[in-house]
Chains A and B, each alone.
Chain A
Amino acid sequence: MANKETKKKKGWSRRKFLIRSSIGVGVVVGTGYFTRSIWRRYLAGIANTLEAPYQGTTTAPGLWFEITAQNQIILHSPKVEMGQGTFTGLAQIAADELEVNVSQVQVVHAETMSGNIDTFATGGSTSISSLWTPLREIAATMREMVKNEAAKQMGTTRENIKAGNGIVTDGNDSFTYGEIVARVAEWEEVDTPELKDISEYKFVGKPVARIDLNAKVKGDPIFGMDAEMPGMLYGAVLRPSMIDARLVSADTAKAEGMPGVVMVVKEEDFVGIIANSYYEAESAKNTIEAEWSANKTWQYQDIANMIKVGQGDPQTIQKSGSTSGLAQVEGLVSAEYTSPMGAHAQIEPNGAVAHVEADRATVIMSTQVIELTRKEIARRLDFDKSQVNIKPTYLGGGFGRRLHTPNAIQAAVMSKAVGKPVKSFFSRQEEFQNDTFRPPTHHVLQASLSEDGLIESMEHNLSSGDVALGSPMLPAIVGQVFGSDVGAWRGGMIQYSGIPNYKAVSWRVKLPFATSWWRSLGLLANTFAIESFMDELAIKAGKNPVEFRLAQIDGSDRGYRLKEVIKAAAEKAGYSDEVSNGRAMGFACSTDANTPCAQVAEVSIEKGQIKVHKVTCAMDPGLVVNPDQVRAQCEGSVIMGMSASMFEKMDVIDNQLKPTIYGAYKMARMKHAPKEIDVVLLQNADAPGAVGEPPLGPIGAAIANAVFRLTGQRLRDMPLKLA
């Protein structure tokens, strides 16, 4: 891993610092951060590790930090905060290199007009890992620049200046950074210094409380839904309730006369009602008589029938040795698994507040794709993208639902039409009906065992609706480079590198509606299939499932880290194959974006229902910046993964997407959540890796494997249902 660090460093050109004096808040220090060959590096990143490097603005110098006269450091984050704790991690990282306290660091979302934003997205569990090196380098350089200016002001050299807690001193006098910065007329550039040794860090590695905790406990207005602009009106948009739908006609005569209605906007692709309040806009919209048509009547079974291994385009995504002839082997073990279509169901609906003026547009919103949204708005308004300023807010959940946010276009179009700011957001029903769903999947697993009860040969064939392909986030080239869907593959490769022959094949099917990114992408379904199958094989081989797995992992660095989490989880949980006191344990593990994770679920059957009492989760995300927040991500992922594995399923009945409300869309709630979640963190890599998604992998299989030990029923379809 040390290796990786140096390699990365070489790739960065020396950055240029741009210093501007500010209007009122001390001096603004900005830096331009150069990246080259973005797509090549990005693609290489996915191909190797499924990790995406940071893709900041390319050459334009944008704002990273402000230092206020009160000695507050304001970090403008290129990534958004959606609950994953990124802002806190970034504050810790910056504080350590800046030599300030975390409490002095305030993190805000960078705006497109002034800041550096990640031009790709916030997603894929990459925020901390991708900014780990760049942010430390920028912060360290800034610290040296402040010291340099302090030396000049104090009549000494930089070497004689010490910095700590946001104060510089030459041994006699001391000043806050804010005081020094306020006196700088012209900054001098300095070279990026050597980064500190990790052992010198005071905040990185510590369970610092989330920096947004107070705002979130007090209910501060920090979300896109809370945003307002002066003179703002409300817009409601007519949206389809069904898949494959086309608007034939919309009679808005009645809506136009409803109280509070200011304007009805009819565009080629949508109808919008602008009113004085949300209530009035919605009430008026509900009077529109709309006719929709579809090419075909769809039922869920039609969709399920499309998602079958053997249909669509196959692509071999992993191959080692030869699995040819496997299907004919005597004693072949084979099993099929499925997962359903799932909704994001984030609690804050998608929405935006937009103000379009003659020469500019300002949009405040929750989004994971700032740059894409900016471009889409610019295109629609016939603006240059530099005329569009996106002001991202905290997200009331992301989970991939905000990796395409074209709803901002509608708010902008309505604002332009009415000449005032317009706020527009989805109703809950519309969220369920217009989601970009987690695609349904089908998996065929086959394996042969050797005489000593180990896997000789194994194949995973998976079929899935699109995840990454077709997403406006990625250029078409991604499909051409990979041939099939990188998102659907996630977790689909066989991690047991000690097996002599193995192969994974992904089959792509295009569905008549949008399926896309859902937290952890294919990981949840693929791991459910592979790890359930591993359990079936272990039982067939008469082996303990933990030892069975350990015996088939090679001695590589990756293998070592996987084995360590397997051992740690089994040991911490006291894993046993035996049923005791009506409870059984199930084991499963996965490797996602270089982060191995193993889980043990302790399960019983209560009143005919599966009850999960305890989950032990061992994970190695490499260097842990904030152990408390990594634990929080494990706890949340375990329960969200449980929810998806045990309860969630979207249905299609006569083209209608159902259900359209919480409750009817069953999800895990307080009463389902395990009362014990025991998290063990290993750190067998010296840079931070993925955290927010990897722990979603194993839980489905861990539960299903426990259920088998308890009941003898092998549940191969999610959501898991006892016969």
Chain B
Amino acid sequence: MKISFKINGEDITVEVDGNMPLLWVVRDTLGLKGTKFGCGKAACGACTLHVDGIAVRSCSYAVRFAEGKSVTTIEGLSIKGELHPVQQAWTDEIVPQCGYCQPGFMMATAALLNRIPNPTDQDIDDNIVNVCRCATYYRMRKAIHRAAEINNQKV
């Protein structure tokens, strides 16, 4: 079927099986590889992207539900080449190790900050539930607080 939506600000139409997970459309049809496959069962968060500003695990989100919506991936997080505050904070704290899980965590964090601009540690524990096997959680927590600070300074 034909499905039309916005990807990182651009209108596109794809012709695919409507039940195909959005993840594979983004990665293989649109060639945006920043959104990762980790489990395919909504259990790890590696595939997290935004649909209308909300964090979604795209491995378990059929592409037909994206019709008419606006999808943002890690590639679209930075605006005009400038790193998004979350990416900047991740850079400042040197968070990534292998890096594979990191786009998912950054997308989850960006969505969290939209809802809760100054998250407490408890907010972070409750909302950032992705899996990182390199276990970079210690720096991630620092980076999440830092991203909130960067956002505050911008306002």
Contact = CB atoms under 8 A, between A and B. Distances in A.
A286 to B, nearest CB: 12
A223 B101 CA distance: 11
B90 A346 contact: no
A217 B86 CA distance: 9
B97 A675 contact: no
Contact of A674 (B73, B98, B106, B138): B138
A210 B133 CA distance: 18
Given A428-B41, A632-B94, A670-B124, A396 B131 contact: no
A399 B134 CA distance: 9
B83 interface: yes
Interface size class of A (residues with CB under 8 A): 35 or more
A562 to B, nearest CB: 25
Contacts of A212: 96, 99
Interface string A468-512: 000000000000000000000000000000000000000000000
B141 to A, nearest CB: 7
Nearest to B100: A396
B90 to A, nearest CB: 5
Contact of A219 (B34, B125, B132, B139): B34
B31 to A, nearest CB: 8
A5 to B, nearest CB: 30
Contacts of A394: 98-99
A351 to B, nearest CB: 9
A670 to B, nearest CB: 5
B78 interface: yes
Given A217-B87, A219-B103, A668 B121 contact: no
Interface string B125-145: 110111111111111110000
Interface in A552-586: none
Interface in A649-680: 661-663, 667-671, 673-675, 677
A643 interface: yes
Contact of B33 (A82, A85, A226, A663): A226
Given A279-B17, A643-B135, A668-B135, A428 B39 contact: yes
Interface string B112-130: 0000000001001110111
A183 interface: no
Contacts of A222: 99
A220 B34 contact: yes
B20 A277 contact: yes
A84 interface: yes
A60 interface: no
Given A214-B91, A277-B24, A83 B99 contact: yes
A348 B100 contact: yes
A345 B132 CA distance: 10
B58 interface: no
Contacts of B40: 427-428
B56 interface: no
Contacts of B24: 277-279
Given A217-B102, A348-B100, A670-B124, A279 B135 contact: no
Contacts, number: 171
B94 A628 contact: yes
B21 interface: yes
Contacts of A225: 33, 36-37
A638 B135 CA distance: 8
Contacts of A45: none
A636 B135 CA distance: 5
Given A428-B40, A662-B131, A663-B43, A636 B91 contact: no
Contacts of B28: 277-278
Contact of B21 (A228, A279, A643): A279
B92 to A, nearest CB: 9
A675 B145 CA distance: 13
B11 interface: no
B131 to A, nearest CB: 5
A83 B132 CA distance: 12
Given A212-B99, A219-B33, A259-B17, A347 B133 contact: yes
Contact of B134 (A226, A278, A397): A397
B39 A661 contact: yes
A636 B136 contact: yes
A358 interface: no
B150 interface: no
B46 interface: yes
A677 B75 CA distance: 32
A680 to B, nearest CB: 15
A218 interface: yes
B120 to A, nearest CB: 12
B137 A218 contact: no
Nearest to B91: A217
Nearest to B83: A217
B75 A219 contact: yes
A218 B75 contact: yes
Question: Which of B17, B37, B83, B129 counts the most A-chain CB atoms under 10 A from its CB?
Answer: B37
Contacts of A677: 138
A636 B97 contact: yes
Contacts of A216: 96, 99, 102
A397 B38 contact: no
Contacts of A226: 33
A640 B136 CA distance: 9
A86 to B, nearest CB: 11
B133 A345 contact: yes
Interface in B1-60: 17, 20-21, 24, 28, 31, 33-41, 43-44, 46
Contacts of A673: 135, 137-138, 141
A661 B41 contact: yes
A209 interface: yes
A257 interface: no
A214 B103 CA distance: 12
Given A259-B17, A347-B44, A428-B40, A635 B98 contact: no
Interface string A68-93: 00000000000000111100000000
A261 to B, nearest CB: 13
Given A217-B91, A663-B43, A348 B141 contact: no
Given A219-B74, A277-B20, 14 more contacts: A214-B91, A216-B96, A217-B106, A219-B33, A219-B35, A222-B99, A223-B33, A225-B36, A347-B46, A632-B139, A639-B135, A661-B41, A670-B124, A670-B141
6 contacts: A217-B91, A219-B34, A347-B38, A643-B135, A661-B43, A670-B130
8 smallest beta-carbon distances between A and B, as pairs? A219-B34, A396-B100, A83-B98, A216-B99, A83-B97, A639-B135, A219-B74, A673-B137
